Amino acid sequence: MTDYNIYLPYLVAIEKITEEAPGVKTFRLKFKNDEDARRFSFKAGQFAEYSVFGEGECTFCIASSPTRDGYVECTFREAGKVTSALAKLEEGETMGFRGPFGNTFPLDAWKGKNLLFIAGGIALPPMRCVIWNVLDTRENFKDVSILYGAKSVADLVYKDELKAWDERPDVKLVTTVDPGGETPDWKGAIGFVPSVLEKMNPSAENTIAIVCGPPVMIKFTFPVLDKLGFKPEQIYTTLENRMKCGVGKCGRCNVGKMYVCKDGPVFSRVALEALPAEY
Amino acid sequence: MIHNNCLQITDKGLKDWLAKIIAGGKQLYAPVREGDKTAFKWLDSVAEISMEHIQTTQSAKAVAFPRAEKLFSYQKEKGAVTLQDYNPDNLSETVIFGLHPCDAAGFRPLGSIFNWDTPDKPYNERRKRMTLITVSCTKSDEFCFCTSVNGGPGNTEGSDILLTPLKKDYLVEIITEKGQKLVEAYQSCFDTPPENSDKEACLAKVPVRFSPEEVSRKLSGMFESKVWETQSERCLGCGACAFVCPACACFDIQENSKGNSGDRLRCWDSCGFSLFTLHTSGHNPRSTQSQRWRQRLMHKFSYMPDRLSVIGCTGCGRCSRACPVDMNIAEHLADIG
């Protein structure tokens, strides 16, 4: 029997804060204790509990890639009590980190395939983890395409990285903003993700599509993927449900008999279709 | 010599034994009558113990899983944070006396949840310091349904020692090594049992209302059933059923802070509350009471048997006794199964 307390967080220092978009920040976190840093490892797709002492914990994915050693990053939007407290923290301050939890993207099974990433809004962070993981082990994969959409130009996150991906010859990047969200100098597409995807017309042949975004985006993207010939086993997404413990005990996140914290957050569309509509 | 792990004890012997257990330094948690109700209390004197009840208001769950428990403490000073980990050293050895077999059985589903892949230290540290002296049921009421969920009024599951009131005196069954130690340390309180102590004849007769396997099998195909709406129409969502349940383990994690220091707490919660699953965005995957009622029944009788091989219910009937609008879980399950 393990003797450690699963509720005790690691102490981490905020090494760097990046303002991504209005109300959206990225924290780069470093373990305060070298031993914690040495022992810690995670895989693309996993999530964690981030805590502000005196306020509580909140749940989001690890947004950095496991291929980048020595730190973890998270990107969050200021929305509730804890994320608002988190947003007030400054560089150098200490916070708590508990994880990693949940399952992972099956990157080993995707070797030798084309990867098509489709993300909307604040759902790029869970995908950024796997995108960098793929780009850092680029030789394992064939074509890599990224379609990313946000409400407006200002709402696009990871602007520097979008530029870096755009400049890479081995990545096809399409960014889009909702009609009316463009600026005069906007060079990307204008339109909602599903319709831009239809115009991109990617081949389903030997391709895995990873779709993360608000429920409405996913709802309209799946039929486009169907039309393009993607089978359910070629499509992956992540689910989020409210969580407290992260380890299958507190009773919040289950969708039918499946627990988002243990069986997810990554689900293939095959697994997703077997779930009741409880997410 | 203990024969067949069975002994006998008189009423006086029992009081002496429990008094000696207290004198020996263990904390005693036992039923005490308060008006028309009986509740578990921490006791210094065995004179207060009452065993006339059919069921105590609460189970003995809180000894292992308190209503609010400190998971760790933190202190902030000039930007630095220090954490004090959960410390089990000050937890006492406890003896719970007078719980019924349904409450002793409740520690199995609790233990399964708290040890699913990642052991829960606060629960396990408390649980391992507990010795359960259970008393078989000689009477039951219309809310009892232990026999429908693999239990029974003289069931030994979860207990360290089981006492069964005979016509005169108690039959003492020693179930575990922990129980054995507690008897051996005070052996003078006990007598050898009579040749033919007929335990079964002294137990309450609790009718079987449904088959748990049948209920579980049917539930797996009932997610979209209309039955959840009809059954839960009168549910107020008060959560009383979860708070009195010996097997409910759902919890919240909350902060109790004062200035620069504080504790992170684990507090009882209920799947019956609308806030339980509410996302920050305003979206709620279980936004209606019928969805939450479905979750309660499905979790206990379908998901837990499926994932943890244990039913999340021991048939104690407290949820139905406590329900302000008289919802009766056994009736609802009997309708399904």
CATH number, residue A90: 2.40.30.10
Structural domain of residue B160, as residue ranges?
A: 1-58+72-208
> Do A48 and A115 share a domain, yes or no?
no
User: Residue B240 in contact with residue B323, Cβ under 8 Å?
Assistant: yes
Cα–Cα dist B302/B226, whole Å: 17
CA-based nearest distance B301→chain A, Å: 11
Nearest CA in chain A to B82: A11
Question: Is A232 touching B (CB cutoff 8 A)?
Answer: no
- A30: part of which helix (H) or strand (E)? strand A24-31
CA-based nearest distance A198→chain B, Å: 28
Assess if residue B64 is contained within a domain: no
Question: Is A23 touching B (CB cutoff 8 A)?
Answer: no
> Do A89 and A115 share a domain, yes or no?
no
Assess if residue B276 is contained within a domain: yes
Q: Which residues on chain A are in Cβ contact (under 8 Å) with B119? A: 1-2, 6
Question: Is A84 touching B (CB cutoff 8 A)?
Answer: no
Q: State how far the alpha carbon of A78 is from the alpha carbons of A17, A26, A74, A249, B33, in Å.
A: 14, 11, 13, 27, 51
Closest in A11, A57, A250 to B251, CB measured: A250
> Do B172 and B217 share a domain, yes or no?
no
Chain-chain contact of B298 with A278 (C-beta, under 8 angstroms): no
Question: The sheet that has B80-85: what strands, in order across it?
Answer: B80-85, B68-77, B261-268, B251-258
Beta strands at A56-61 and A114-120: parallel, antiparallel or unpaired: unpaired
Chain-chain contact of A8 with B83 (C-beta, under 8 angstroms): yes
Quote the pTM value. 0.94
Q: Name the amino acid, one letter, at B91.
A: L
Nearest CA in chain B to A82: B280
> Do B100 and B241 share a domain, yes or no?
no
Q: Which residues on chain A are in Cβ contact (under 8 Å) with B249? A: 249, 251
Question: Is A256 touching B (CB cutoff 8 A)?
Answer: yes
> Do A33 and A96 share a domain, yes or no?
yes
CA-based nearest distance A13→chain B, Å: 10
β-sheet bridge partners, residue B251: B268
Domain-terminating residue out of A101, A136, A168: A101
| Total domain count, chain A | 2
> Do B308 and B181 share a domain, yes or no?
no
Nearest CA in chain A to B294: A256
Question: Is A3 touching B (CB cutoff 8 A)?
Answer: yes
Q: Which residues on chain A are in Cβ contact (under 8 Å) with B295? A: 254
In eight-state DSSP terms, residue B45 is -
Chain-chain contact of A256 with B303 (C-beta, under 8 angstroms): yes
CA-based nearest distance A213→chain B, Å: 13
Which phi and psi (to 5°) does residue A185 adopt? Answer: -95, 10
Cα–Cα dist B122/B114, whole Å: 9
Cα–Cα dist B248/A146, whole Å: 45
> Do A121 and A166 share a domain, yes or no?
yes
Structural domain of residue A170, as residue ranges?
A: 107-238
- A94: part of which helix (H) or strand (E)? strand A94-101
Q: Render each residue's pLDDT in chain B as its tens digit; 337 residues.
A: 455 689 999 999 999 999 999 999 999 999 999 999 999 999 999 999 999 999 999 999 999 999 999 999 999 998 789 999 999 999 999 999 999 999 999 999 999 999 999 999 999 999 999 999 999 999 999 999 999 999 999 999 999 999 999 988 999 999 999 999 999 999 999 998 777 778 999 999 999 999 999 999 999 999 999 999 999 999 999 999 999 999 999 999 999 999 999 999 999 999 999 999 999 989 999 999 999 999 999 999 999 999 999 999 999 999 999 999 999 999 999 998 7
Chain-chain contact of A1 with B122 (C-beta, under 8 angstroms): no
Q: Which residues on chain A are in Cβ contact (under 8 Å) with B250? A: 250-252
- R_g of chain A, CA atoms, integer Å: 18
Chain-chain contact of A257 with B307 (C-beta, under 8 angstroms): yes
Domain-terminating residue out of B208, B227, B251: B208
> Do A123 and A80 share a domain, yes or no?
no
Beta strands at A235-238 and A266-268: parallel, antiparallel or unpaired: antiparallel
For the segment A237-273, what is each residue's pLDDT rounded down to a tens digit?
Answer: 999 899 999 999 999 999 999 999 999 999 999 999 9
Q: Which of B65, B71, B77, B280 to substitute to test the interface with A, most A CBs within 10 Å?
A: B280
pLDDT of A278: 86
Assess if residue A97 is contained within a domain: yes
Chain-chain contact of B71 with A8 (C-beta, under 8 angstroms): yes
Nearest CA in chain A to B279: A242
SS3 content of chain A, % helix, strand, coil (to 5): 25, 30, 45
